[in-house]
Amino acid sequence: MRTGLSVRQRMLIVVLCFVVAVIGFMVKLPSAFRHIDKELHAAFYFLAAAILNVLFAKTKLVKHIIIFVSLYLFGIAIELGQAYSNQFFRKRIHGRFDPVDIQWNLKGLLLFSLLWLIYAGFLLIYKRRV
């Protein structure tokens, strides 16, 4: 009996989440959530890192680093895309490029990485004892 998701299924999940994330980041945040925009950035990147690490990295450090860097670059690309979309559509569909958003993205990634390192460290110690 086979357990877990195939690579194809995991990639489909990632592509669907990626499309939803791009659309979500490209539209203006509803006014009810604008006062917690920065916290939402950190939460999104924390959860994105968690999902990608569960799907692909498990406890592999190199894969974790690749996911971390990829998400960080994705955050920069989204901010640049938001600024460009306002020029491209000649209408403000989103805010502007905001370096503070990138800092909060990084905070979410760093917090997840800290928890991931603790978890991976405990697993490594446990496997050596068994």
Q: Give per-residue pLDDT as tens, 31-51.
A: 888 889 899 999 999 999 999
28 within some domain:
no
94 within some domain:
yes
Q: Domain limits at 114?
A: 37-129
Question: Average pLDDT for residues 8-22, to the nearest whole number?
Answer: 92
108 within some domain:
yes
16 within some domain:
no
Percent of the chain clearing pLDDT 70 (strictly above): 92
Q: Supply the pLDDT for residue 1.
A: 42
58 within some domain:
yes
- Asked if 102 contacts 75 with a C-beta cutoff of 8 angstroms, the reply is yes
Question: Average pLDDT for residues 94-108, to the nearest whole number?
Answer: 89
**C-alpha closest to that of 112 among 39, 51, 21:** 51
Indicate the residue type of 39.
E
Q: Which residue has the higher pLDDT, 111 or 97?
A: 111
Q: DSSP per residue over the chain, as a string? A: ---S--HHHHHHHHHHHHHHHHHHHHSPPPGGGGGGHHHHHHHHHHHHHHHHIIIIITT-HHHHHHHHHHHHHHHHHHHHHHHHHHHHTTS-SS----HHHHHHHHHHHHHHHHHHHHHHHHHHHHHHH-
Indicate the residue type of 86.
N
* Number of domains the chain contains: 1
95 within some domain:
yes
Residue 92 pLDDT grade (very low, low, confident, very high; cuts 50, 70, 90): low
13 within some domain:
no
Residue 93 pLDDT grade (very low, low, confident, very high; cuts 50, 70, 90): low
56 within some domain:
yes
Q: How far apart are CA 129 and CA 107, in angstroms?
A: 33
Q: Which residue has the higher pLDDT, 83 or 8?
A: 8
